[in-house]
Amino acid sequence: MHYESGSEGAVKIVSWNVNSLKVRAELVGLYLDEVAPDVICLQELKLATDAVPTELFTERGYQVAVHGQKQWNGVLIASKSPLTDVQLGHPPAEDGQSRFIAATTAGLRIVNLYCPQGQRVDSPKFPYKLAFFDALIAWIQGTHHPGDDLIITGDINIAPAARDIFDPDGYAGVPSFHPDEHARLKQLLDWGLTDELEAYLAPNTYTFWDYRGGNFRFNKGMRIDHFLVTESVHARVTDGWMDRPWRKKRGDLKASDHAPVGIALS
């Protein structure tokens, strides 16, 4: 289902892998003008920190924190409320890549992630992905409590279940749908997080479609962009959505291969 504004009077929080903010800046500006989220978390900026067009956000009344990297990766959080306790990166997980940013805003601790994809099981990128999650889990367990107002969001790069991937049999054991990844996601959920969008999105509702092969047209996608929230946040959620229309080209503006996802909090 598509919601462009969430629930009336709610705090709207959006996550979006934009696949190059340099390419997608005008599209992101249009989204901010039309949807006006209170908080937006972007991934895959593909820009060094000092090259990120922060005025795109500040001119619209947002505070912004950026953890960029030239050509690859990169994450940011922009909020209409002040950002405090900003943490740019988590070296044990990132290992030199810009994939982690955290900040507190409007009483919420938000961790925005661009998790590794893993490529192939026989690639060194797959053990890197598993190590990223191991370090992330250890950090969450060591620095947070399930009673905190905590949101883990971003491109998590794991499709949790068969309902979240267009060909579960064909992708069984493949990165983004591998049992070792599912085990780590279960660790996060067992610690005290809820996969918030699961309840709001119908089965076979996806957030990512490869550009190739008409995958978007034929809905051959995966649900890999998530909001994982603690119980106190879960109790406040009034809505959740995936903005599929923003995966489509808008005039001359080309879309990312991900759609924005969002939650609304009372």
Q: Looking at 31, 62, 114, 200, which residue is catalytic?
A: 114
Using the CB atoms, write b or e for 75-114: b if 16+ within 10 Å: bbbbbbeebeeebbbbeebbeebbbbbbbbbbebbbbbbb
CA dihedral 252→256→259→262, nearest 10 degrees, is: -100
Query: Is 114 annotated as catalytic?
Result: yes
Retrieve residue 115's tokens.
């998790």
**Contact by Cβ (8 Å): 3, 27:** no
Q: Looking at 155, 164, 239, 257, which residue is catalytic?
A: 155
Give the number of other CB atoms < 10 A from CB of residue 217.
Answer: 8
Give the number of other CB atoms < 10 A from CB of residue 199.
Answer: 10
Give the number of other CB atoms < 10 A from CB of residue 12.
Answer: 22
Catalytic positions: 114, 155
